[in-house]
Amino acid sequence: MLNRAPIENGPQDGGHLPDLNPHLSDPVPPQVYEAPQMARVDRWIAAAGEWLARNQRSVMAVQWGIVGIYVLLVVVPAFLPPPARTAHIWTNLTLFAQFAFWGIWWPFVLVSMVMVGRLWCGVLCPEGALSETASRKGRGRSTPGWVKWKMWPFVAFVLTTVYGQMLSVYQYPKPALLILGGSTVAAIGIGYMYGRNKRVWCKYLCPVNGVFGLLSKLSPLHYRIDRDAWDASPKPAVRLNCAPMVPIRTMKGASTCHMCGRCAGFRDSVALSRRTPGSEIVHVAGFQTKPWETWLIVFGLLGVAAGAFHWASSAYFIAGKQAAAEWLVDNGIMWPITGHAPWWVLTNYPDLNDVMSPLDGAMLLTYLAIVALVFGGAIMLFLAAAGRLLARPFDGATMGAIWRQRTHHLAQALIPIAGSIVFLGLFATTASILKADGIRLTFVPTVENIIMALAATWSVALAWRICGLYTGSRGRQVLAAALMLGAIGAGVAAWALPY
Ligand code: SF4
């Protein structure tokens, strides 16, 4: 038997809508959670999960190692002199840290979500480890209502993304320390105050919690629960500590699970398992409709994040800024053009000829808002139209509730392109850092186009399958899928057009 620390589990996730599809009595098709005849590969996968459960001390040692690397890459460069113009990523720690952190670390954390779910969160994340450690020794208070506000995943992501652009977080070490280090300090503080051996910060407030939760729905791995075996097994003497407070017995997906492995083998009913990539989006997400997820996909990732990655090179942004500057000069208002602010408000590095004026800051905020509203608004219209087409009245639910559920579920089909936009934005950062060092990756535009084309194809396939869940009419399915093509096209355009 496995050694387990005593623990308590958190409440059920809120926000589940009732079954709004009269044709589906079970939100999860049997193949998602029923144990099939186990193939050898399934036994290896399950054994990997149980290995994690047995080796939590090793996991903790790895986490502390990552904390050390994190300090080296994020904290140390902020206290070093700026790199000389002749410095390279292999001769200067600041440049190396910039490349390693933004060019390698973050893009591949995103990829790992799609490949292995939130293993990063549960096994490697330094912030989660520090927060849980603080929680072990802290006050252990119950989590207040403001921490549990359901829109945090959207709001925290947007605020962090916008603030990062205002400070040029990818270019300079001090903003990176302020934003990432500030987040880490907050994670420790929240851990110290609330919960016992828990990751309250990760579950509710981490700025990338929402994005990671969405991407992990695409993963081919998850912890499968055999509920019959769970119910039939005797109650264990010790309780299991699920740090992100997932209601394990009723867990049906991977988006809230941090894949830490602690529950593997628990009550002989939990096993790391394979599943069809994206099956959670088709078969589970529609029954766990959370409006913040739609906001994050449509206005956060396909709006603000898309704009954040290309505003500096956008011809529209430059033209708008020139027009605004000319109007200000014509009217004798100069301070927005000549003024500047501290580096922690707006980018301010005069020695490097890199200063954002109040006009630059205002134009940046305006541009991101316009991109979010134009592309996000267009996507929402397509989603709502497709949702309306698939909404059919039946007893027990209002038409409005059915329509909203369809619309939110359809939005989940956009996760592949939404995730690709963030990955490609960071990938472009990788390429530009290498280019500044004289290493030109001429294949980057081709790779970017291929990745976006594959993501769009995946979104189309998911949309087609979701539409098919809600109608028996092939014609209605085709019409709804055609509207979804419009939403997917608008999402791709948010990435491609403003260049
Ligand atoms: S359900 Fe909880 S304990 Fe189990 S793997 Fe996920 S995060 Fe860990």
* Residue-by-residue DSSP string for 95-144: HHHHIIIIIIIHHHHHHHHHHHTTHIIIII-HHHHHHHHHHHHS--BPPP
Kindly report, residue by residue over 44-101, the tens digit of the pLDDT. Answer: 999 999 999 999 999 999 999 999 999 999 999 999 999 988 899 999 999 999 999 9
d(CA 246, ligand 1 centre) in Å: 7
**Backbone phi and psi for residue 349, each to the nearest 5 degrees, phi listed first:** -130, 75
**Backbone phi and psi for residue 291, each to the nearest 5 degrees, phi listed first:** -55, -35
Residue whose CA lies nearest to ligand 1 atom number 1: 257
- In whole angstroms, give the CA distance from residue 370 to residue 445: 25
Question: Does 246 sit in the ligand 1 pocket, CB within 6 Å?
Answer: yes
Nearest to 258 by CA among 470, 482, 10: 10
Closest ligand 1 atom to Cα of 245 = 2
Residue whose CA lies nearest to ligand 1 atom number 3: 242
| Structural tokens at position 484 | 């979804």
Question: Does 282 sit in the ligand 1 pocket, CB within 6 Å?
Answer: no
d(CA 258, ligand 1 centre) in Å: 6
Residue whose CA lies nearest to ligand 1 atom number 4: 263
d(CA 483, ligand 1 centre) in Å: 37
Closest ligand 1 atom to Cα of 251 = 1
Closest ligand 1 atom to Cα of 258 = 7
d(CA 254, ligand 1 centre) in Å: 9
Task: Tell me how crowded residue 28 is: count the other CB atoms within 10 A of its CB.
Answer: 16
d(CA 260, ligand 1 centre) in Å: 5
Contact between 200 and 258 (Cβ < 8 Å): no
Nearest to 129 by CA among 189, 183, 64: 64
pLDDT at 23: 42
Predicted confidence band of residue 40 (pLDDT cuts 50, 70, 90): confident
Kindly report, residue by residue over 173-232, the tens digit of the pLDDT. Answer: 999 999 999 999 999 999 999 999 999 999 999 999 999 999 999 999 999 999 999 999
Q: Which comes out higher in pLDDT, residue 395 or 112?
A: 112
Strand positions, DSSP E, 389-474: none
Contact between 303 and 371 (Cβ < 8 Å): yes
